[in-house]
A and B are shown apart, each in its own frame.
Chain A
Amino acid sequence: MAYWIASSPHNHQQSSTSSLMRLVIYATIPGIITQWYFFGWGNLIHIGLAVVTALIAEFTVLSLREKKVSEQLFDGSAILTAVLLGISLPALAPWWVSVIGSLFAIVIVKQLYGGLGHNPFNPAMAAYVMLLISFPVQMTSWQPPIELMSIALDFANTASVIFSNFTFDGYSVEQLRTHIDGYTMATPLDTVKTNLTLGMTIGESMSNPVIGEHVGIGWQWINVAFLISGIFLIFKKAIPLVTPLSFLLSLFICSLIAFLLSPDSNASTLFHWFNGACMLGAFFILTDPVSGATSVKGRIVFGVLAGFLVFVIRKFGGYPDAVAFAVLLCNMAAPLIDQYTRPRTYGHK
């Protein structure tokens, strides 16, 4: 005859963290499909490897921490981290790159700091940066779009390259990256940056086959796909509007100013927007609630800072793409941003 005692409120919206995570994972599917279409099976294999490693690592650590494994293992956070990492890696990177990255992301960046909700850095991006710094060769051997490759890669051959560094026919990654004309192909961002150091203008770089019709074969459409997914998530209220908006606007304004000052040495605004991990970062990385700012004002500052940093590092830094570094720097700044952008309470000055 016992009556259920609970604290008010007794009503609930019936949303949950795991459903939120699941929604975000589903939203990455268009981008993943686009990536598969243009670059082949590489990233899918990496996503698979990363997810499996992440789940094993999470299970191990949760058991060591004596937490309820069944509740927390499949709440979607580990899988989402692994998916984002898998998307970010070069398609032909060795298998151990994604395994090490996933392990690092889950065990060190997430669980070591306290698990879900306590990590100060975005786990996928922190792992990406760690891999980039530790294994620069493997992490910069980007596979060119399929239509530009001289050697065809099917699923089995891709798996072979990932697991043994060579295709069945014995081609290495370097050989796969070589254009018919004999030069190694890079990402559009990398191409433009390298050409600038060689003294070529932006206009001359744009004639590179990697760039294609618009701003980069494959890369542009992947970014468009992530943009659409992001707008879908905003519509579903899974991510806040202000963070991606302020990030994209900030990057746009910075690149616009640079482009207007010197079109020959600065790429166009749309080039920046639809290349690299810009859209992925705007809608999936920066909007990670745990490592971002909390108030609306804080998120605006967060986004503006991220956009500015992406532009600066892309222009003046050593790496072609800067989203991961910018995200980490903004994660570091988030607590300070939070403290100074607290909203005014009702009734207080």
Chain B
Amino acid sequence: MESVIERIEQGHFWKYHGGIHPPEMKFLTTDKPIRPLAIPKELVLPIQQHIGNAGELLVKVGDNVVKGQPLTASSSMMAVPVHAPTSGTITAIEQSIIAHPSGLNDLCIKITPDGEDKWRKRYITPNYQSLTKVEILDKIINAGISGMGGAGFPTHVKVNTNAQINYLIINASECEPYITADDLLIREHCSAIVDGIKILDQLLEPAFILIGIEDNKPEAIKTLQKETQDIEKIKVCVLPTKYPTGGEKQLIMALTGTEVPTGVIPNSLGIVMQNIATCFAIADAVIHDTPLIKRVITVSGQSLEKPQNVWALLGTPVEFLLSQCGYPEQVKKHIIMGGPMMGFSLPNTKVPVIKTTNCILAPSEAEIPNQVKEVECIRCGQCAEVCPSQLLPQDLQWSAKAQDHQQLNKLNLFDCIECGACAYVCPSHIPLVHYYRIAKAEIRQQNLLDIQAEKAKQRFEARKARLERDKIAREEKHKKSAAARQARMNAGTVQGNQEKSAVAAALARVKAKKSQNNTDNKLNDNDVQPQEEQQTDKKSQVAAAIARAKAKKVAAQKVKETQITADTKQVTVSQEQLPEKPANKAEDKKSKIAAAVAKAKAKKAASSADAKSSAQSSDDIKQSSDDKQTKITAAVAKAKTKKQLKSTQLQHELTPDENNKNDAKEINKTQDVTDKKARIAAAVAKAKAKKKQAESK
């Protein structure tokens, strides 16, 4: 650091790469004092005039405000309040055009001045040395001070640092052509500026204070040197005039020889830089309790009748300034807010001036001709020679036109400070800075999209994992309940068995449905499906048959139990025969009739022949009565069976019955025989029926 101070004291400053020497044109306004202006008819105050966030509104439409009254409050660290530049009424709080290259609208407070210019109560602090750092910072933020050099960074954030500050650099270089605002301010208000510098000294306690100024301002240099000759710390450094010496990185390089690494703020290098107009505003705020409500603006350009520096209230529309300086009606109008190198064109003159406006330029056609046609790049390399950031504007231009974002990042596009030196020298008149701005915007937008895509990807991954987990949990649950069910079914309890058969029946139903659906839907797969269907059919049929058989067994058992108390053996036998011959209804009926007839005969025999014989006579009578009965019954039965034979094809079964008819004696036997034969016939019929079923399948 010692060598730096030595060099500074000797005036051997460093040089930064590149730079240009455009015509300064400062003679238009440098010899006139700063002119105070009348109050305009309307003031339009954008609520955000700095880098950061807008403050919260404290007023509403219709409120009467006094000069210096805060209109917004600082709610976050990067919010800076705005104040009423004069007393009046708030006529509107609405979207209105703001001082931005895009020409878009933002929220503005519109004040109609009442002409009285009444101040709010102000509390002077003549001895600011007694204030603490916190108090000074409070005053700075409450006064709404942000950087007045052009960028507008909140001052209270920049000077609120506990780091060891080696150099506090005051930027008085004003390197852009035409602008003389800082020059005049130094000449007219140097003591206030030095007060502001002393306040910053108290706040930051730097080792040295360097005031960087270009050598095209001899009067200002002299004034500064005189005012600061008693203060050892402050060194007035006169730098050779070159654009862009006023750029932060370039000025640091020129004064201290340190190169600020990319992406690093100078605070971490122990350097704080403030514009000289900001120092003036700080002095006003801390000592005189005056918020930032006005500033010096250079209104210049050869098309004006009276180009001059003016004290302009913040929020003054540009047309007021132009009319005050004599802007004649003309066909081709070009109004620039800012200097010719970095200023932006205005779409109309309703745009209000804000804290960072240091110049309004109204050039004539000869001064700044309207755009000349762009030609192809001939790769002359002059742009790289003048770039203060040591970039390759030529390669950047090729890549920007090709939208090659990767190459642009490799060429360090975001180190471009958009000073315009490259486009100034380009023989092909390529609007290089314009291409870089577009490329930067494209890259920023792409980065935002990438972040969103990354978030979406993470959400998707999390969802996928969650679904996986749920699936596994579900399967576990199913396994457990299946095991429990198995255990229950195999336990052997009644409920278990019921469950089992119910499940089996349900499964059978499902399969039957499935097979039906299969036959309906899948007509193409004939080979595989029918076999499956047959198998399922068979299975279901088998299952159904088994079920039926079981049910029958149970019913048969019941019937057996009820038939033990029946009257006649034959009846019971015949009745017994009944359930065993399901296929032969004819035989059932026949034997039923035979049984009834026999019963009736038995009764008659018993009543007619009383005491003849014991068992035998009764048996004989029974037998004879039975014989008659059986004859009749046999004849009736025969007729009936004949009828049914035709329908059921059982003729051959009845031939033994027909033979029995002719022989009377045989009727006795035939009774037994018919019974036997009936049983045999029934059995034969059953077998035949089964055969027929098998054939029909």
The interface of chain A, by Cβ under 8 A from chain B, is 1-13, 15-17, 19-20, 71-72, 75, 77, 115-118, 240, 289-290, 292, 294-296, 299, 342-348
Q: Is the interface of B mostly helix, strand, loop or mixed?
A: loop
Q: A346 and B388: CB pair below 8 A?
A: yes
Q: A346 and B375: CB pair below 8 A?
A: no
Q: Which of B366-385 contact A (CB under 8 A)?
A: 368-373, 375-381, 384-385
Report the separation of the CA atoms of residues A11 and B392 in the bound assembly, to the nearest whole angstrom. 21
Report the separation of the CA atoms of residues A120 and B376 in the bound assembly, to the nearest whole angstrom. 14
The interface of chain B, by Cβ under 8 A from chain A, is 16-17, 20, 22-23, 177, 249, 253, 259-264, 332-336, 338, 340-349, 361, 363, 368-373, 375-381, 384-385, 388-392, 394-395, 411-412, 415, 418-421, 423-425, 427-429, 431, 433-434, 437
Q: A9 and B424: CB pair below 8 A?
A: yes
Q: A290 and B379: CB pair below 8 A?
A: yes
Closest to B435 in A: A7
Q: B375 and A4: CB pair below 8 A?
A: no
Q: B384 and A343: CB pair below 8 A?
A: yes
Q: B384 and A4: CB pair below 8 A?
A: no
Report the separation of the CA atoms of residues A12 and B340 in the bound assembly, to the nearest whole angstrom. 9
- Least Cβ distance of A208 to chain B in Å? 42
Q: B423 and A9: CB pair below 8 A?
A: yes
Q: A20 and B262: CB pair below 8 A?
A: no
Report the separation of the CA atoms of residues A75 and B376 in the bound assembly, to the nearest whole angstrom. 11
Residue in A6, A72, A299 whose beta carbon sits within 8 Å of that of B370 in the complex: A6
Q: B429 and A16: CB pair below 8 A?
A: yes
Q: B378 and A289: CB pair below 8 A?
A: yes
Q: Within 8 Å CB of A346, what residues of B?
A: 16-17, 249, 253, 259, 262, 388-391, 415
Q: A116 and B375: CB pair below 8 A?
A: yes
Q: Within 8 Å CB of A13, what residues of B?
A: 20, 22, 424-425
Q: B378 and A16: CB pair below 8 A?
A: no
21 contacts between A and B (CB under 8 A): A4-B345, A8-B342, A10-B336, A12-B369, A13-B425, A16-B372, A16-B427, A17-B427, A20-B427, A71-B375, A115-B376, A116-B375, A289-B378, A289-B381, A294-B379, A295-B384, A343-B390, A345-B391, A347-B249, A347-B260, A347-B389
Residue in B343, B378, B395 whose beta carbon sits within 8 Å of that of A116 in the complex: B378
Given A343-B392, A346-B16, 4 more contacts at CB 8 Å?
A: A7-B431, A7-B434, A295-B384, A345-B262
Instruction: List the 5 closest pairs (A to B, CB-CB), nearest first.
Output: A9-B420, A117-B376, A347-B262, A7-B434, A4-B334
Report the separation of the CA atoms of residues A247 and B340 in the bound assembly, to the nearest whole angstrom. 40
Q: Within 8 Å CB of B437, what residues of A?
A: 7
Once A10-B363, A295-B392 are accepted as A-B contacts, the answer to whether A345 and B384 lie under 8 Å apart by CB is: no
Q: Within 8 Å CB of B344, what residues of A?
A: 7-8
Q: B333 and A15: CB pair below 8 A?
A: no
- Least Cβ distance of B209 to chain A in Å? 24
Q: B377 and A117: CB pair below 8 A?
A: yes
Report the separation of the CA atoms of residues A9 and B388 in the bound assembly, to the nearest whole angstrom. 15
Report the separation of the CA atoms of residues A343 and B342 in the bound assembly, to the nearest whole angstrom. 25
Q: Within 8 Å CB of A11, what residues of B?
A: 22-23, 177, 340-341, 368, 420, 424
Closest to B21 in A: A13
Closest to B341 in A: A9
Once A10-B336, A15-B427 are accepted as A-B contacts, the answer to whether A344 and B390 lie under 8 Å apart by CB is: yes
Once A3-B347, A6-B345, A346-B249 are accepted as A-B contacts, the answer to whether A292 and B427 lie under 8 Å apart by CB is: no
Q: Within 8 Å CB of A17, what residues of B?
A: 375-376, 378, 427-428
- Least Cβ distance of B328 to chain A in Å? 14
Q: Within 8 Å CB of B16, what residues of A?
A: 346
Residue in B262, B418, B428 whose beta carbon sits within 8 Å of that of A8 in the complex: B418
Q: B376 and A118: CB pair below 8 A?
A: yes
Report the separation of the CA atoms of residues A115 and B378 in the bound assembly, to the nearest whole angstrom. 10
- Least Cβ distance of B100 to chain A in Å? 13
- Least Cβ distance of B377 to chain A in Å? 5
Q: Within 8 Å CB of A20, what residues of B?
A: 378, 380, 427
Q: Within 8 Å CB of B412, what residues of A?
A: 345, 348
Q: A3 and B376: CB pair below 8 A?
A: no
Report the separation of the CA atoms of residues A3 and B423 in the bound assembly, to the nearest whole angstrom. 22
